[in-house]
Structure 1
Amino acid sequence: MLKFTSSEIRDLFIAFVVISLCFGIANTGRDMAALMAILPMIMVGVGLGFILHELGHKFVSMKYGYWAEFKLWPQGLIFALITSFFGFVFAAPGAVYTYANYMTDEINGKISVAGPVVNIVLAALFFIVATLVYRSAFTSQTSLLIYQICALGYSINSFLAVFNLLPIGNLDGSKVLRWNVGIWIVTIAIAGIMTALPMTMGFEIMVRTVLGF
């Protein structure tokens, strides 16, 4: 069973709010009206993507019998906020720290890959829901809102997956690559394709293609 400390819950909440704001700024620039309009939708995608990403790490860590706890990285939050004004987000607000006297590369790799895999699955689920509601979005405001949330949720989660799988610094990708090159290649390729598709062909065209429009 997952257990949380009060400081961990506080850190998760702060990181969630600030990262949501960062993605909102990256998508709207300095347009405050647009930011306020899009922020609740972004918070759904970031909320699920960020929180469940970290819980993925925590769950696998505790499955192996380790204590794991999310801790905020204030410098990372500040850097994320700065980069958001340039149209992208360096999303490193903190990390789940696993406390162990010794850990093999395999276990460390499995703990690390869990977070990006959660984001990949969430992006796929957002895409499926968007596809299901697309036709009714033309006549229903509720369906349109769901579709817009799913479009943002897909983009945010696919980006979080590919970003965290980069083999640099202390990101998940470095640990996954050290454990298993094949798994790293497959996961970052999937995340990369999922991220690139809406940038090159557009999210709506992706949905329409699946529906045969």
Structure 2
Amino acid sequence: MFKFTTSEIRDLFIAFIFISLSFAIANSARNPSAILNLLPIVMFGVGAGFILHELGHKLVSMKYGYWAEFKLWPQGLLFALITSFFGFVFAAPGAVYTYANYMTEEINGKISIAGPIVNIILAVIFLAISVAIYPSAFYSETSLLIFIICSVGYSINSFLAVFNLLPIGNLDGSKVLTWNAGIWIIAIAIAGIMTLMSMTIGVENIVRIILGY
């Protein structure tokens, strides 16, 4: 059964607020007014990306019969805020801890890759909505707002996927690479290309290319 502890819900909420604020700061040139305007928009992408990423880990862990719980990493929260002032977010505010006496590399790898896969899927969904809504964004403020939210959602989720797949320390990438190098290469290549396109071409230009504009 999918259960949450009170402390887990608290930690998820705190991490969500901090990571949303960090992304807002990183993408607003540290302008207080821009931060306030961007924060609600960022929260949609981060809310879906961060929360569902962690739930992906938790769901797969519990599928294998393990108890899994998200726990906050205070130092990670602080590091996320500090790096955001340099235009980059070290997005590691906490993690889902799986409690098991023994776990194979395969199971650990599958649990670890679940989060980044969620982010990749969400990025594709946000991009698809952006493509669908783009033509009406020229004359509808509602459509324009949805397009902006989905554009940010695509960028944040593609970044979260590639960041978590880095084979560094206790990030997901280390455990996925240990389990299956081929799957890790495919996953980080997809996430990396999506992130690179977002940073270089821009989401609007990606949409225009898809639509043939």
Do both proteins adopt the same fold according to a TM-score greater than 0.5, normalized to the shorter chain? yes
Quote the offset at 1:180 in angstroms: 0.2
Q: Distance in 2 between matches of 1:202 and 1:93?
A: 27
CA distance in 2, matches of 1:82, 1:130: 31
Give 1:30 deviation, angstroms. 2.1
Q: Hey, what does 1:134 align to over in structure 2?
A: 134
SS at match of 1:134: helix
Matched, 1:168 2:183: no
Q: Does 1:92 align with 2:97?
A: no
CA distance in 1: counterparts of 2:198 and 2:6, whole angstroms: 39
1:38 aligns to what?
38
Q: Matched residues in 2 for 1:57 and 1:170: separation?
A: 14
For residue 206 of structure 1, what is the aligned residue in structure 2?
206
Show the counterpart of 2:66. 66
Q: Distance in 2 between matches of 1:159 and 1:25?
A: 16
Letter in 2 for 1:152: V
Deviation of 1:199 (Å)? 1.5
Structure 1 segment 1-213 matched on structure 2, within 5 A: 1-213=1-213
**Which SS does the other structure have where 2:109 is aligned?**
helix
Deviation at 1:168, TM superposition (A): 0.5
1:3-42 Cα distance to aligned partner (Å, 9 max, x none): 0000000000000000000000000132111111111010
Identity of aligned residues (%): 74
CA distance in structure 1 between the partners assigned to 2:30 and 2:202 by the alignment: 24
TM-aligned CA deviation for residue 95 of structure 1: 0.2
Shift of 1:202: 1.7
TM-score (norm 2): 0.99
Q: Distance in 2 between matches of 1:70 and 1:125?
A: 25
Q: Distance in 2 between matches of 1:203 and 1:175?
A: 31
Partner Cα distance (1:150, 1:31) in 2:
22
For 2:8, the aligned partner's letter is: E
The residue type equivalent to 1:46 in the other structure is V
**SS in structure 1 at match of 2:27:** helix
Give the 3-state SS of the residue equivalent to 1:71 in structure 2: strand
SS in 1 for 2:123: helix
Q: Distance in 2 between matches of 1:194 and 1:201?
A: 10
RMSD of the TM alignment (CA)? 0.5
In structure 2, C-alpha distance between the alignment counterparts of 1:85 and 1:200, rounded to whole Å: 21
Q: Distance in 2 between matches of 1:148 and 1:180?
A: 36
C-alpha distance in 2, partners of 1:119/1:37? 24
SS at match of 1:91: coil
- TM-superposed CA distance for 1:198, in Å, is 1.8
